[in-house]
Amino acid sequence: MNLGRNGLAWGIGESGFIPKADEPVKKEGDGRAPAGIFKITKAFGYATQINTKMPYVQADKELVCVDDSRSDDYNKILNINESSNPVSFEWMRRRDDLYKIGLVVGHNSEAQKGAGSCIFFHIRKSEDAPTAGCSAMREEDLSTIIEWLDPAQNPKLVQIPRSYCSQAEKLYKGIRCTAALSVKR
């Protein structure tokens, strides 16, 4: 799995972990993936529909995610024609196909200004290429996860520094921290 080019910073999700005072907090444009516990809210992709039980949104040529912290639409995915004319946003249909399929990570759901936006699980560029602040993986693995997830099971992402593994194992019965992600087929 590939994370932000500057590593992790504590994001706004569900509580559970108590970060140390000197650890970084997620900010807009910091190049860090959010650390914490986050709901996985929906799937997205270029196809009209995909094999998933998750709510799905098609990323057509007008769909954007607003990363302008001054906008009323901050941290929202919407049609550019229905937006409040944000200064900054990212197209959900990219030329490099990194968003061909993906998942929306529920970081900063209340859209706290400047706390980071548009956090996704998406296709990685290459094995060792970091992201701008998302989490990325091989397309085959991401596809398997998207097919497997069920909103009735309240899926969550637990993405934390390795030093917090023992806390995670106590918080979530049955969770086992591993150094690498593996997906059973």
Amino acid, single-letter form, for residue 20: K
pLDDT of residue 179: 56
Distance CA 104, CA 119 (A): 6
**Which portions of the chain are predicted below pLDDT 70?**
179-185
pLDDT of residue 174: 76
Cβ burial, residue 168 (10 Å; 0-12/13-18/19+): middle
Instruction: Give the number of other CB atoms < 10 A from CB of residue 180.
Output: 5
CA within 13 Å, CB half, 92: 29
pLDDT of residue 170: 83
Nearest-5° angle of CA 24, CA 120, CA 38?
60
pLDDT of residue 55: 98
Helix (H) / strand (E) containing 8: strand 8-10
CA within 13 Å, CB half, 131: 22
Residue 79 near residue 104 (C-beta atoms within 8 A): no
